[in-house]
Structure 1
Amino acid sequence: MSEVARFSRRVLLGTGLAVAMAAGFGGAVLAADPVKLGVSIPAATHGFTGGIVWWANEAKKELEKAHPNLKITVKTASNAPEQANQLQDLVTVTKIDSLVIFPFESAALTQPVVQAKKKNVYVTVVDRGLTDPNAQDAYIAGDNTAFGRIPAEYIAKKYNGKANVVALRGIPTTLDNERWDAFTAVMSKHPDIKILDAKYANWNRDDAFKVTQDFLTRFKDIDVIWAADDDMAIGVLKAIDQAKRTDVKEVFGGAGSKVMVKTILDGSNPLIQADVSYSPKFIYDAIKLTAEARLKGEKLPATHIIPSSLITKENAKEFYFPDSPY
């Protein structure tokens, strides 16, 4: 059982025990103290953050319905200064006592979060860590090491340790470094897998299209392209199609977008056979865990990493969320 599952089970068991104890005292159920939870996230400027916004609002809708004494306020920001201003409003105007924040930028949001914590706000930071870990009570993120390791292991196994590979990285960040280091650590064990080149494509379809055009011009024999993001993978596929290249056997993206998962389910593109999960749903999980813990007057573990999984045709249905924008 995962740590998330164990924690959720403990919360549910504790809730059930409280109800049972209250029933023993004349049937009056004792309500938990009210919780005002603020959620601060980037605006839906691209597919992944669109998913973040959608899952955050799903959490608000479902959790407020389940817990009448819970009030969730969701704020979206298009840049770091806007997010910092919204955070101040959440603390001083909305008067939140708990916060789940997906920082737009790590450094720019650290001090505003520190100020919130000084006002006795319980803080859960999601995915993009702050420069000062003391500013948070809990940290929840996807597994970036697994995000890089899983596709590398998949490629090495499927192609029997022999392939020509090019890679598209994201934006120069610690998150991207973790993924790349994990990918290359696996590939270093397979000397017949050649990484011909790797370039940043900024998790952007258009940039990925241009980078892939360059790869296809310079390298006449490519077996696998690791795009490291599903938005980038779409740009990669467009470049391959335009160049009419038939040597590329597979494109491996990342994050489990509904477009890629549906493609795997349907078998509609032979270049897309697998993916790795890194769903924006982790914001839903972070909000749910934080809200339920605070309603019980409890704290979350200091760090929780949500596992990434290999997605193939056999299990793709588990990762398909058709109503999500991502």
Structure 2
Amino acid sequence: MFKKKVLSVMVATLVSGAVYAQDEVRIGITQNNVGVDSYQTTYEKAFEEAAAANDNVDVVVLDAGGDVARQIGQVRNLIQQQVDAIIIWPTNGQAVIPAIRQAYNAGIPVVVTNSKIADAGLEYIAAFSGPDNVQQGASSAEMMCEALDGEGQIVQIAGQPGYTTAMERSQGFEDRLAEACPGVEILETQPADWNREKAQRVMENFLTKYDVIDGVYAGDDNMGVGALNAAKSAGRAGDIVFIGATNFAVGYEAIERGEYYGSIYQSPVDDAEAALQTALDVLAGKDVPKMNFFETPKITADNLAEFDKPVF
């Protein structure tokens, strides 16, 4: 089975329990919203397991619950605790910059994980570790072009408004779609906040509003399967191509059944391990690139057998 390896050498070193310094390091992480989906839940578990495998690492694990103000307070609290490094999965890529700047001024390196912050804050971080969400959107657009032979009318179900990952995936999808197949028209885009039930309601509204929908692009498979469920209930699923991102187990299963055209393979376990290892490398004084993207390949029925079914 094909298993993506994120920063493979670094992850292997982490899992083996090797460390770069004799002294224990204390790393704080503030996550976006663990309860919102199974990707983030799996990420948290993998992060804690990776830290536990390393005798010289102590972690403070926090969850912002999707609340920007709470996350800013958590960063400030970690600064007061004088942790050695901070990892942040930003709730809002712009709003968290002042807190990150405070950590920078306090001499605490910050690693941004999974979702990038705005460009204005890049000078204050040590590194970013995560997927290239613009490329993910572009890859999804290429699959849509292939599935529709370059012609059709589609709708887009986006993630949480103002959230960097959602914006970047939409940007990558829209830009690449216009370039690769200008004959495919986006009728409308609506957010569903990474929520399957909300995506189902959004899709129900789309189905009522538009007599012809040839394709659906969803910012993740959780929302994509919600849209699929709405179309199945309306008896229109067979006429629509569904393409998502961040391949969830439900998306993988839908591809197996032939109901879902494709997605983007991304592992929360690799995501978490890479973030922790990036922080350890920064603390060890290693030469760490500012942007550490990991591979997120396309997944369709043609290559499904090469990938392990996601555990989230």
TM-score above 0.5: yes
TM-aligned CA deviation for residue 317 of structure 1: 5.7
Matched, 1:114 2:101: yes
Aligned ranges for residues 36-185 of structure 1 at < 5 Å? 36-47=26-37, 50-65=38-53, 67-78=54-65, 79-93=67-81, 95-126=82-113, 127-130=115-118, 131-173=120-162, 174-185=164-175
Select the residue among 285, 291, 298 that pairs with 1:310: 298
Offset at residue 223 of structure 1 (A): 2.3
1:36 is displaced (CA, Å) by 1.3
Gaps of 5+ in 1: 19-29
Identity %: 22
- For each residue in 1:129-164, what CA deviation from the matched residue of structure 2 results, as whole angstroms up to 9, or x when unmatched? 154222211122311122211121112123322333
Q: Determine whether 1:33 maps to 2:23.
A: yes
Question: Aligned-pair RMSD on alpha carbons?
Answer: 3.0
Match of 1:199 in 2: 190
TM (norm. structure 2) is 0.82
Residue 51 of structure 1 and its aligned partner are, at CA, apart by 2.6
Task: Measure, in 2, the Cα distance between the counterparts of 1:207 and 1:241.
Answer: 16
Tell me which of the two structures has the higher relative contact order, counting C-alpha pairs closer than 8 angstroms and 6 or more residues apart. Answer: 2
Give CA deviations for 1:273-313 in whole Å, capped at 9, x if unaligned. 3211344342332112322453x332421112223211124
TM-score (norm 1): 0.79
Q: Is the 8 A contact 1:52 1:283 kept in 2?
A: no
Partner of residue 222, structure 1: 213
Alignment match, 1:5:
8
Say if 1:151 and 1:114 are closer, same or farther in 2 by CA, change over 3 A: same
Separation (CA, whole Å) in 2 of partners of 1:239 and 1:45: 23
User: Which structure's CA Rg is the greater one?
Assistant: 1
Question: Whole-Å Cα distance in 1 between the matches of residues 192 and 55 of structure 2?
Answer: 45
Correspondent of 2:261 among 273, 276, 279: 273
Opposite residue 126 of structure 2, the aligned amino acid is D
1 CA distance for matches of 2:33 and 2:219?
A: 22
User: Which amino acid in 2 is paired with 1:5?
Assistant: S
- Provide the C-alpha distance between the structure 1 equivalents of 2:204 and 2:64, rounded to a whole number of angstroms: 34
Structure 2 residue identity aligned to 1:161: G
How far off is 1:68 after superposition? Answer: 1.7
Q: Which amino acid aligns with 2:171?
A: D
Matched residue SS, 2:83: coil
Aligned length: 300
Q: CA deviation at 1:181?
A: 3.1
In the alignment, the residues of structure 2 paired with residue 176 and residue 246 of structure 1 have an alpha-carbon distance, to the nearest angstrom, of 25
Task: Note the residue ranges of structure 2 that are not aligned, 5 or more in a row.
Answer: none
Q: 1:302 to 1:191 in 2, by over 3 A?
A: closer
The whole-number CA distance in structure 2 between the counterparts of 1:3 and 1:43 is: 22
Q: Deviations over 1:177-211 (max 9, x none)?
A: 43233323333342433333333333333332232
- The separation in 2 between residues aligned to 1:46 and 1:316, in whole angstroms, is 29
SS in 1 for 2:186: strand
Q: 1:218-297 to 2 correspondence within 5 Å?
A: 218-245=209-236, 248-264=239-255, 267-268=256-257, 270-281=258-269, 282-294=271-283, 296-297=284-285
Shift of 1:100: 1.1
Label 1:37 to 1:316 Cα distance change in 2 as closer, same or farther (>3 A): farther
Q: What letter matches 1:59 in structure 2?
A: F
Q: Is the 8 A contact 2:6 2:274 kept in 1?
A: no
